[in-house]
Amino acid sequence: MAERPGKDSDAILGVIPRLVFEPESLEEAEDAVARCARDRLTLGFIGGGTELGMGAAPSDLDAVLRTSRLDRVLEHAPADQIVTVEAGATLAALQAVLAPHHQWLGLDPPWPERATLGGILSTNAFGPRRARYGSARDLILGVSIVRADGTPAKAGGKVVKNVAGFDVARLLVGALGTLGLVATATFRLHPVPEAAATVLFPALDSAGVSSLAEACRAAQLEPTSLAAIADSDRFDLGVRFEGFAPGVAKQAERLLDLGRRERAAGERLGEPEARAFWGRHEAVREMGPLRAKVSAPPSGFPSVARTALTRLLGELSPAGAVFYPSLGLGYVAGRPSAVAAVAAATAEAREALAPLGGSLVVCEAPHDLRAAVDVWGAPPPAFALMERLKGRLDPDRRLNRGRFVGGI
């Protein structure tokens, strides 16, 4: 098996491993994890490296397993609309295999050319189409994993409907590789819509964004994406409809009518303009070196946006924000001015979000800011149970040690 000493480019948040495995087969991956178990080596996982900034720096990192050579599409059954893929395959490579069959995996997180399916699962990465397809948690059907002790195991299956056994596959979504190596995953696919239209409402305030999103739902429109982009306290709201052409055209028209009634002037974008809008959205999602994910029930968004988030945005330059008003999720990103001021603004935002049941997670941050802010925030109420689960699946706590919530 390809095994070599670690280099700077293998580092996870500045921590360079002694040893790097680059398995080319699932058996080699099992061997690598088993070897680490035998030698009691702490082990981290790297996919495309797009979200490596998520979580705390590892408290200990002997070895890294890179999944980049585990990149095969193992089974695509177009008639059953399922695909099984190795963890190291990139999203773009997978979509390219599916495209000739007019199908796709309904996930559209940033960096599709580099982001791997294993990484997307482990970080629960998502994009604007979550409004229609849900997140990885909603699309995953089964996984095969390599447990901390090197044992291969699987859960779920490759049919859309299946309640046999515990849903270990969904448990791994967002677990940041702390429970095992995701080796392969099976997903439910969807047909690629034949038509799309984006309607833009520029320069709304946060309350305007919310009320348009609510009006959209009240009118029984079903957009596949709603995203509001801001660089100050004004938001450009893009609403995208996708599906069969007649439905898309009619829905876009009805939304423009709705906008007029809400006194928001919208326009249906031409194809280049629509591409530009979603490109701008993508650019904000990929912005750094600080990036924070914000969650709140949708109704809480206007007040949080007006106060805490505006303040955080003010401490960044350049700065950008994206909110998904129907999901209750958003990102704030940019270059921090002063560490202390950003840390204070982050703490304030968390205080504003806590009573709503929301949260703020720092997904990417410069080194000096990490010292001043806990990237995860306070441990959740069920933390003791999470620790027990970690203890059962990784008793020596060797996988991605110290990186996840509460030091898991």
Partner 1 sequence: MDPRGSIAELGRRMGAVVGPDHCFTAAADLLTYECDGLTHGRTRPDLVVLPGSTEEVAEVVRLARAAGRPIVPRGSGTGLSGGARPVPGSVVVGLSRMRRILEVNLRDGWMRVEPGVINLDVTRAVSGAGFYYAPDPSSQSICSIGGNVAENSGGAHCLKYGFTVNHVLGARVVIENGTVVDLGGPAPDAPGLDLLAVLVGSEGLLGIVTEVTLRLLRRPEATRTFFATFPSTDEAGEAVSQIIAAGIVPAAIEMMDRLAIVAAKAATGLDWPDVGAALLMDADGPLAEVEHTSERAVDIARRAGALEVRLPRSEAERQLMWKGRKSAFAAVGRISPNYLVEDGVIPRSDIAPVLREIEAMAKDHGLRVANVFHAGDGNLHPLVLYDARESGQEHKAEHLGGEILRMCVRYGGSITGEHGVGAEKAAYMREMFSEDDLETMRFVCTAFDPDGSFNPGKVFPATRLCGERLEREGPHPAEQAGLIERW
d(CA 242, CA 255): 14
* Residue 318 beta carbon to partner 1: minimum distance, rounded to whole angstroms: 26
Q: Categorise residue 241: left if φ over 0, alpha if ψ from -120 to 50, beta otherwise.
A: beta
Q: How many helices (H) and strands (E) does the chain have?
A: 14, 19
Identify which of residues 173 and 316 has a Cβ nearer to partner 1 in the complex. Answer: 173
Instruction: Please enumerate in sequence order all residues whose Cβ is within 8 A of that of 19, keeping only pairs 6 or more positions apart, or say none.
Output: 3, 4, 5, 6, 41, 62, 63, 64
* Residue 341 beta carbon to partner 1: minimum distance, rounded to whole angstroms: 24
* Residue 5 beta carbon to partner 1: minimum distance, rounded to whole angstroms: 32
Identify which of residues 77 and 96 has a Cβ nearer to partner 1 in the complex. Answer: 77
DSSP code per residue over 370-384? HHHS-SS-SPPTTHH
Nearest alpha-carbon partner for 268 in 279, 280, 257, 283: 257
Identify which of residues 243 and 289 has a Cβ nearer to partner 1 in the complex. Answer: 243
* Residue 336 beta carbon to partner 1: minimum distance, rounded to whole angstroms: 21
Going 157 to 161 to 167 to 170, the CA torsion angle's sign is positive
Q: Which residue's entry shows tokens 């190291």?
A: 88
Chain length of the chain: 408
* Residue 156 beta carbon to partner 1: minimum distance, rounded to whole angstroms: 9
d(CA 126, CA 327): 11
CA separation, residue 404 to residues 101, 103, 148, 154, 353 (Å)? 38, 34, 16, 23, 21
Identify which of residues 157 and 314 has a Cβ nearer to partner 1 in the complex. Answer: 157
* Residue 23 beta carbon to partner 1: minimum distance, rounded to whole angstroms: 19
Identify which of residues 49 and 157 has a Cβ nearer to partner 1 in the complex. Answer: 157
Identify which of residues 335 and 359 has a Cβ nearer to partner 1 in the complex. Answer: 359
* Residue 326 beta carbon to partner 1: minimum distance, rounded to whole angstroms: 9
Identify which of residues 20 and 323 has a Cβ nearer to partner 1 in the complex. Answer: 323
DSSP code per residue over 28-81? HHHHHHHHHHHTT--EEEESSSTTTTSSPPPS--SEEEE-TT---EEEEEGGGT
* Residue 338 beta carbon to partner 1: minimum distance, rounded to whole angstroms: 26
Identify which of residues 19 and 145 has a Cβ nearer to partner 1 in the complex. Answer: 145
d(CA 342, CA 348): 10
Are 23 and 70 within 8 A, CB to CB?
yes
